[in-house]
Structure 1
Amino acid sequence: MSGTNELDAQFALAQADVKELSERPGNLTLLRLYALYKQASLGDVQGDKPGFADIAGKYKYDAWGALAGTPQDTAKQQYIGLVESLKSGASA
């Protein structure tokens, strides 16, 4: 149980850290962060796929959908790892 609480705390910290990055990540990295956040928070993709006119929404939906079946804790760990790499200046 404490492992989950620790992971949740690290996930919350990573969410705060991502807002403090000195450089804005590229669009593909932002899409990955979004998808990992949604998978970690809500699980598998939900709702209807946005229509053709909503290109950004479609990309977000597809990125989240690509993570279907990923356990929420795994998505949290991947999100934390991605934020850590961005904080250290590694390109993602």
Structure 2
Amino acid sequence: MSDLQQRFEQAQNDVKQLPERPSNMTLLRLYALFKQGSEGDVHGDKPGMTDFVGRYKFEAWETLKGTSQEEAMQKYIELVEELKSGAAS
């Protein structure tokens, strides 16, 4: 397992231990970076108009299309570190 993969997995654990809940926009960013880092480009059907949360998540992930999995993992790790230090919310 690569160092990046290990740090990505550690960040996934760390995000569950944050002292306060991030804003909804930050949660969407975390979700999109996690999905891009773990699965690559968005796939599947876009949720319907009545599934607001699913649609927002899909669209957030879709904005990262073309981003490498390694770059997404690194950005996820950096965002979690910012949240841990209180620099982002």
Using the aligned pairs only, state the percent identity. Answer: 60
Question: What's the counterpart of residue 90 of structure 1?
Answer: 87
Question: What's the counterpart of residue 6 of structure 2?
Answer: 9
Question: What's the counterpart of residue 40 of structure 1?
Answer: 37
Secondary structure of residue in 2 paired with 1:91: coil
Pairwise CA distance, 1:79: 0.0
Secondary structure of residue in 1 paired with 2:88: coil
Output the TM-score relative to the length of structure 2: 0.98
Output the TM-score relative to the length of structure 1: 0.94
The unaligned stretches of length 5 or more in structure 1 are none
Write out aligned runs for 1:57-76 (5 A): 57-76=54-73
User: Which 4+ stretches in 1 moved above 2 angstroms?
Assistant: none
The unaligned stretches of length 5 or more in structure 2 are none
Pairwise CA distance, 1:91: 1.9
Question: What's the counterpart of residue 51 of structure 2?
Answer: 54
1:46 is aligned with what amino acid?
H
Secondary structure of residue in 1 paired with 2:48: coil
Quote the Cα distance in structure 1 between the aligned partners of 2:88 and 2:5: 25
Quote the Cα distance in structure 2 between the aligned partners of 1:14 and 1:7: 10
Quote the Cα distance in structure 1 between the aligned partners of 2:88 and 2:33: 17
**CA RMSD, Structure 1 to Structure 2 (Å):** 0.9
